[in-house]
Amino acid sequence: MNPIASLRYHWNVNLLGRAILRWQRIRAQRRPPRWDTRYLAPPLKVGARMKELVGRHWLAGRYTKGCRKVAWVTSGAPVELLKALDFYVLYPENHAAICGTARVAVEIASEAESAGYSRDLCSYARTDIGAVLSGKTPVGRLPRPDLLLACTNICQTVLYWYRVLAHHFRVPLVLIDTPFVYTEEAAEHAVRYVRRQLEEAVPLLEKAAGKRLNERRLRQAALLSKRASELWLEILQRCRHRPAPISVFDQFVQMAPIVEMRGEPATVDFYATMLREVDERIAGGMGAVRNERKRVLWDNLPIWYRLRYLAEFLARRGVAVVASTYTNAWGELAPLIDPDEPFESMARTYIYPILNRGTGHKLATMKRMVEEYQLNGAILHSDRSCKPYSIGQMDQRDRLIREVGIPALLLEADHNDSRAFAEEQVATRLTAFVEMLGE
């Protein structure tokens, strides 16, 4: 560790940065809501704390050079190994989502397109590669990785995406290949295959980290991941209450820590605080949508650059989006995490994400949610550049209509590229969908 870099980190992150972010949180808590509170409840008080927490994470990345090793990882990667080795962990997908909400994703993705990358590629990948090539980012500066860790349980795009990053940065790439789960249960040989890869990756991770893996720290990271995931799942399940205390749009915003900060005590503390606030809303009879008349499901990634527009559009019509296959994916695997058997449980946990299973599993998940959350309809976001999540949606829509008896809308857009969003067309289709929900 470089003493000067360590001092710079301590001053800018732990002292000055902490004070500035706390001041920004206090100011944000006093600021009037930015959306129409005639139809939507006031924002969660814990939201300002989330921005402070995530702000500290990205601030630490700016000053981590010379202090900690840096790993860039996919969202479905076994982050507990990296946390136990004290890597600073950066999720390019989360960074791309920040670019989307800040509405700079198109500008940054265009840098990748100018370098020859097709617009048919995942808009997260284009945003990330564009940021790497241009240095443009709304978070100040991205730390250079010492290691890349990619897991194929979300899509095959990450394999080629991370090869591009490995070539650009000239750093090691550790790939964890997860066999696709076609049946209800993964084959035992597939779980053993993933576990063997995790165990064989340890020496490579240790070499990049410059230290040995501590079994106790690995168990602690797994315990923190499990507890945060359990709390997140509890928060989501509170939306079974009528009226729902938070909406899916709230979930999209507040999910950042469970994605990019799993395995950390601050994440557990944050979701414990959020759960208490959600319970206070239920006790006070506060719903996310003030006049909740209809309840619907959201399938696929958010449309990051139009969250508020969609939330207000539906809330004005008494429609609350209360359940999502996407936010549920970050909590439903919590029971598989076993801190006492970290390698075995990581192998099982990271082979079962929703995108590593068949379309029939997602349909079954949606059917279960319709019943458990008492839903009146479903919006399936047909995401132009997330093909693994969008495949099968036409059939899933038709079967929800035919077998469950609810209206289901296929809404075409893109999670991060606003050029694929036609506002008038979206408004027309949503209006027709709301009419199908009835009174």
Helices (H), ranges, 63-150: 79-84, 92-101, 105-114, 123-134
Sign of the CA dihedral running 147, 81, 174, 99: negative
How confident is the prediction along the chain (439 residues), in pLDDT tens digits per residue? 677 888 888 788 888 888 888 888 888 877 777 777 789 999 999 999 999 999 999 999 999 988 999 999 999 899 999 999 999 999 999 999 999 999 999 999 999 999 999 999 999 999 999 999 999 999 989 999 999 999 999 999 999 999 999 999 999 999 999 999 998 899 999 999 999 999 999 999 999 999 999 999 999 999 999 999 999 999 999 999 999 999 999 999 999 999 989 999 999 999 999 999 999 999 999 999 999 999 999 999 999 999 999 999 999 999 999 999 999 999 999 999 999 999 999 999 999 999 999 999 999 999 999 999 999 999 999 999 999 999 999 999 999 999 999 999 999 999 999 999 999 999 999 999 999 998 6
pLDDT of residue 56: 94
Beta bridge partners of 70: 88
pLDDT of residue 33: 73
Distance (Å, whole) CA 13 – CA 65: 13
Contact criterion met (CB below 8 Å) for 133 and 111: yes
**DSSP assigned state of 228:** H
> At which residue do the structure tokens 């507990």 appear?
80
**DSSP assigned state of 211:** S
Closest to 272 measured CA to CA, from 306, 227, 236, 210: 227
> At which residue do the structure tokens 């006070």 appear?
284
Distance (Å, whole) CA 319 – CA 314: 5
- Whole-model pTM over 0.75: yes
| Amino acid, res. 306 | R
Question: What does DSSP say about strands 377-383 and 294-299: parallel, antiparallel, or unpaired?
Answer: parallel
Q: How many CA atoms lie within 13 A of 223 on its CB side?
A: 8
> Between the CA of residue 382 and those of 143, 153, 297, 385, 432, what are the distances in Å?
33, 20, 14, 9, 17
Domain ranges of the chain: 3-437
SS3 assignment, position 373 = coil
Closest to 411 measured CA to CA, from 397, 399, 401: 397
Which residues lie below 8 Å from residue 238, measured CB to CB, with a gap of 6+?
244, 245, 246, 275, 278, 279, 282
